[in-house]
């Protein structure tokens, strides 16, 4: 888990890792008519979504949003990997139950190496 100060910078910290792995940014897709989705980083069929769970937004609601984004990406042929800056047991249960692939920042490089 990242310290609070670094948690706010999960986007830029994620990009530092992904840039070396050949990722681009961003990817705009339309999984269903009238539904636009923007994912900040992608490479071939893998999308990466950094997430900093903060007290300002209920963690369960944000986790459910990530599950929905993962389903939308899958409907377009992409695998979504969520990079978590902070998390709770509830967040992990929701993401795991929704079939979302997730990792911490320190495991990101090895997680995306196994994807296309």
- Condensed to tens digits (0 to 9), the pLDDT of residues 2-59 reads 455 555 688 999 999 999 999 998 999 999 999 999 999 999 999 999 998 877 889 9
The pTM (predicted TM-score) of the whole model is: 0.89
Residue indicated by tokens 């490479």: 43
For residues 85 and 51, is the Cβ–Cβ distance under 8 A? yes
Domain that holds residue 93: 4-113
4 vs 68: which has the higher pLDDT: 68
Q: What is the CATH number of the domain that holds 73?
A: 3.40.1350.10
Q: Cα 92 to chain center, whole Å?
A: 13
pLDDT per residue as tens digits for the range 94-109: 999 999 999 999 999 9
Return the pLDDT at 37: 95
Least confident window among 61-70, 96-105, 107-116: 107-116
Q: Structurally, how many domains does the chain consist of?
A: 1
94, 102 Cβ separation under 8 angstroms: no
Question: Count of alpha carbons within 13 Å of 3, Cβ hemisphere only?
Answer: 2
pLDDT of residue 76: 95
What SS3 state is found at 115? coil
pLDDT at res. 115: 72
């Amino acid at each position: 888990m990242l310290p609070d100060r670094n948690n706010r910078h999960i986007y830029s910290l994620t990009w530092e890792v992904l840039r070396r792995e050949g990722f681009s940014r961003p990817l705009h897709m339309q999984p269903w008519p009238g539904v636009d989705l923007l994912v900040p980083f992608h490479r071939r069929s893998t999308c990466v979504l950094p997430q900093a769970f903060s007290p300002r937004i209920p963690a369960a609601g944000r986790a459910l949003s990530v599950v929905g984004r993962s389903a939308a990406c899958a409907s377009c042929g992409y695998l979504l990997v969520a990079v978590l800056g902070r998390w709770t047991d509830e967040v992990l249960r929701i993401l795991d139950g929704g079939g979302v692939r997730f990792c911490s920042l320190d495991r990101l490089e090895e997680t995306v190496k196994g994807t296309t």
